[in-house]
């Protein structure tokens, strides 16, 4: 059993005061408690530290001299650390460690970085991203991040210890090369279509190499609506997938939350068709105890406000069409 800092302070107080009686007043502890703690220290170290005479005055043994020096060094080090903590994190100062996925990390993360810079209490902002929401939640549970933007399903096992706030519904879109005319898309969605022969990109699509919550639905969609298309390409992220589509060689499914994060050099070569009833819920997760601290509570509200008033609108780009319209046309 190691010696505690409190025990070292008691030992030093007795030595500095010269007696247990005086030290007990200095420490605000009873004499029996002081004596018990001193005896506990000597029991742990298996050596005598103090010699007590009949008047109650104490003298140090050789081991006592050694441990007095050690106590002084450790207590001084702890006091220095406490002072440094107060200067860096005192007065409600705080640090933010945001975790999210590659789909949302660009525009979303930069906006949050701007929010925290507006608060002079901020000491540091760190951004972590995982390949999927499950990786981000793992980092949250390990306390390596303190804010997480993830899909709702991923945070389910940890809801009891976190405040989980819905931020927006992330619709999934069919992303196609802008070079393919709408008439070819219409034809490709009919039961008997020759469009994939004329536009080979319609015969190839991208599937993510990592398993994500939306993947089974994505596979079913291609089997039902575009059976002539095969999963020719694999990608680690949705960004990698749409980059392939921008080259005009395939199609893919992608959350609309990626759209505000794309450079115009890529987005200008794509068309997005939002798929009916194909979506995921995105939430903001924060450990419950953090929201009892004012800076974190204020940032939490700022993030929710930003998503409601700005980010959600940015996903409603003129580049996004409703697939229902296309499907209706293809059936008539």
| Token couple for 54 | 């009949």
Any idea which fold 5-89 has? Answer: Arc Repressor Mutant, subunit A (1.10.10)
DSSP label of 150:
E
Percentage of the chain surpassing pLDDT 70? 88
From CA 66, how far away is CA 197, in angstroms rounded?
86
CB 168 within 8 A of CB 151: no
Residue 3 has pLDDT above 80, yes or no: yes
Residues 6+ apart with CB under 8 A from 234: 206, 207, 208, 209
Confidence band, pLDDT 50/70/90 cuts, at residue 243: very high
Residue ranges of the chain that CATH labels 1.10.10.10 = 5-89
Q: Residue 10 and residue 2: Cα distance in Å, rounded?
A: 15
Query: Minimal CA–CA distance to 103: which of 21, 214, 19?
Result: 214
| Average per-residue pLDDT for the chain | 84
pLDDT class of 269 with cuts at 50, 70, 90: very high
Reported as a single tens digit per residue, the pLDDT across 43-98 is 898 899 888 776 667 788 898 899 889 988 998 888 877 766 665 555 556 778 88
Fold of 94-169+282-313: D-Maltodextrin-Binding Protein; domain 2 (3.40.190)
Query: Which among 139, 182, 174, 146 has a CA at the least distance from the CA of 162?
Result: 146
Distance of CA 242 to the CA centre of its chain: 24
183, pLDDT greater than 60: yes
Buried b (16+ CB within 10 A) or exposed e, 145-164: bbbbbbbbebbeebeeebbb
- Average pLDDT on 124-147 reads 88
Over residues 168-197, mean pLDDT:
85
Yes or no: domain 170-279+318-330 corresponds to CATH 3.30.1360.30: no
Give the pLDDT band of residue 192 (cuts 50, 70, 90): low
Most confident of 254-268, 295-309, 310-324: 254-268
In the chain, CATH 3.40.190.10 sits at: 94-169+282-313, 170-279+318-330
Q: How confident is the model at residue 284 (pLDDT cuts 50, 70, 90)?
A: very high
Note the residue count of the chain: 332
Residue 169 confidence class, pLDDT cut points 50, 70, 90: confident
Provide the pLDDT for residue 315: 67
Host H or E run for residue 13:
helix 5-17
pLDDT confidence of 248, banded at 50, 70, 90? very high
Cα 253 to Cα 206: distance, rounded to the nearest angstrom? 8
Give the integer Cα–Cα distance in Å for 284 and 115.
15
Helix (H, G, I), strand (E, B) or coil at 10: helix
Per-residue confidence (pLDDT) for residue 200, from 0 to 100: 92
Picking from 202, 173, 200, 207, the residue whose alpha carbon sits closest to that of residue 186 is 202
Q: What is the pTM of this model?
A: 0.65
Q: Is 143 helix (H, G, I), strand (E, B) or coil?
A: coil
Output 108 or 292, whichever has higher pLDDT: 292
Report DSSP letters for 24-80, one per residue. Answer: HHHHT--HHHHHHHHHHHHHHHTS--EEE-TTSBEEE-HHHHHHHHHHHHHHHHHHH
CA triple 152-319-306, angle to 5 deg: 45
Query: Is the per-residue pLDDT at 328 higher than 70?
Result: no
pLDDT band at 324 (very low <50, low <70, confident <90, very high): confident
For 21, residues 6+ apart whose C-beta sits below 8 A from its C-beta are 31, 56
pLDDT band for 114, please (50, 70, 90 cuts).
confident
Longest CA–CA span in the chain (Å) reads: 108
| Residue 193 CA: distances (Å) to CA of 79, 198, 205 | 77, 10, 17
Q: What's the mean pLDDT in 120-140?
A: 85
The answer to whether residues 104 and 149 touch, using CB atoms and an 8 Å cutoff, is yes
What is residue 49's DSSP assignment? -
Residue 242 pLDDT: 96
């Amino acid at each position: 059993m190691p010696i505690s800092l409190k025990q070292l302070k008691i030992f030093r107080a007795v030595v500095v005061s010269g007696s247990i009686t005086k030290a007990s007043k200095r420490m605000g502890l009873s004499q029996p408690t002081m004596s018990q703690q001193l005896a506990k220290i000597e029991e742990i170290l298996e050596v005598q530290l103090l010699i007590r005479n009949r008047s109650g005055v104490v003298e140090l043994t050789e081991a006592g001299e050694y441990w007095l020096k050690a106590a002084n060094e450790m207590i001084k080090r702890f006091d220095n650390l406490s002072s440094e903590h107060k200067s860096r994190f005192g007065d409600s100062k705080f640090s933010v460690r945001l975790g999210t996925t590659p789909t949302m990390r660009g525009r979303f993360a930069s906006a949050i970085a701007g929010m925290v810079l507006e608060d002079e209490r901020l000491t540091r902002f760190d951004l972590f991203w995982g390949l999927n929401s499950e990786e981000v939640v793992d980092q949250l549970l390990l306390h390596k991040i303190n804010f997480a933007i993830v899909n709702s399903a991923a945070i389910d096992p940890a809801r009891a210890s976190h405040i989980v706030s819905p931020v927006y519904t992330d619709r999934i879109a069919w992303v196609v090369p802008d070079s393919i005319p709408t008439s070819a898309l219409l034809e490709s969605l009919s039961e008997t279509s020759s469009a994939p022969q004329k536009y080979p990109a319609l015969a190839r699509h991208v599937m993510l190499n990592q398993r994500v919550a939306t993947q089974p639905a994505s596979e079913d969609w291609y089997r039902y609506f575009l059976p002539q298309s095969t999963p020719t390409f694999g990608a680690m992220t949705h960004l990698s997938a749409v980059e392939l589509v921008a080259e005009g060689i395939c199609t893919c499914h992608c959350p609309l939350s990626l759209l505000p994060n794309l450079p115009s050099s890529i987005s200008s070569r794509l068309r997005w068709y939002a798929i009916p009833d194909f979506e995921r819920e995105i939430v903001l997760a924060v450990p419950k105890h953090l929201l009892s601290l004012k800076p974190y509570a204020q940032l939490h509200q700022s993030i929710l406000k930003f998503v409601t008033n700005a980010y959600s609108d940015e996903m409603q780009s003129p580049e996004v069409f409703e697939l229902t319209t296309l499907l209706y046309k293809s059936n008539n």
